[in-house]
Amino acid sequence: MGDELESDIPVWPVRARHELTEQRIVEAAEVGGDVDQATRVRGIHRTMRERTMLYAEQMRLLTEFFTRDPEVEGCLDVADVSAMKVAVGLRSSTHRAEALIRDAHRSVELMPRTFEALARGDLPEDFHQYLLRRVRRLEDDQVRDVDAHVAVWELASISRSQFERHVRLIVALVSAGTITSPREPERDVRLEHADPASGTATLSVSGPIPEITALMHRLDMSARDVQRAQRHALESGEEGPLLFDIDENLR
C-alpha cells in the first residue's frame, strides 16, 4: 500500500472469489453459447470501464480548474464562483456544477489512492459515487483513512454488494475511532441530482433529527391540504386555474 496509516484501525483485504476477466463476465451473464450476446456483454463491460475513465478525467479537470481559478484558488467556501464558470461547459445548473466540483476536489485531493483505481477503470463510476456519499460527512483526515483502506481491496473484481458492505464498515470504524465528542448537528441543503430529460430533481436537506422530522410532517400536511383544495375545485366545477397546478394539466 505504500505509506503507513496514521490511524489504529486494522487494514483488511477484500478479495473477490475470482478475477473478473471478460471470460468470467460472459460465464456469469449466463448467455450460454450465444456468441453475439457474449460479444455484447463484453462490449458493455469495456464501455463501463471507458465511461469510468472519462468520469475520472472530468473530475481531474474540474479540480484543476477550481484550484487554478484566480478568483477562488481552491477555496471551497467560494466554490460557487468556479461553479458559475464550469456550469457552462457542463451544460448544467450552478448548483449541480458546485456539487461536482466539491466531489472532484474530495476525490483528487483527499482520496488519491482510490482515484487512481477510478482513473484505471478498476473502480466503477457508481461504486465511486457510493463511496463519496458515504464519506461526505467525515472530516478530511477521516476521508484520507477511508481512502487508504479501500485502495488495498481488489476493486477491479469484487461485487457491488461486497464493496458497499465493507465501505459501510470502514466508515463506521473510522468514525468511531476518531470522534471523541459529539459534534453539533450539521445542517445542509443540497441539490443532489437534476434530470432535465424527466423533469425531476432531488433535494437533500440535512439537520437535527427532530427538526427534519417536523419538516417532513409539515410538507406532508401541506401537500395533503393542496390536494384537498384541488379535488374540491374539480368536484365543484370552479372556474379558473387550480391551486399549484403549474403545468395546468390537472383538470
pLDDT in tens, 38-61: 999 999 999 999 999 999 999 999
pLDDT at 141: 92
Average pLDDT, whole number, for the chain? 85
User: Span 121-148, mean pLDDT?
Assistant: 95
What pTM did the predictor assign? 0.67
pLDDT at 208 over 90: no
pLDDT at 91 over 70: yes
pLDDT in tens, 209-226: 767 777 776 787 777 777
Asked if residue 204 lies in contact with residue 188, where contact means CB atoms within 8 angstroms, the answer is yes
The one-letter amino acid code at 156 reads A
C-alpha cell at 86: 464550469
Over pLDDT 70: what percentage of the chain?
86
Confidence of residue 181 (pLDDT cuts 50, 70, 90): very low
Helices (H) and strands (E) in the chain, counts: 9, 2
pLDDT in tens, 3-38: 445 556 667 778 888 888 888 888 888 887 888 999
Q: How far apart are CA 80 and CA 62, in angstroms?
A: 13
pLDDT at 203 over 60: yes
- What is the dihedral sign for C-alpha 60, 107, 91, 94? negative
Asked if residue 16 lies in contact with residue 157, where contact means CB atoms within 8 angstroms, the answer is yes
Asked if residue 201 lies in contact with residue 194, where contact means CB atoms within 8 angstroms, the answer is yes
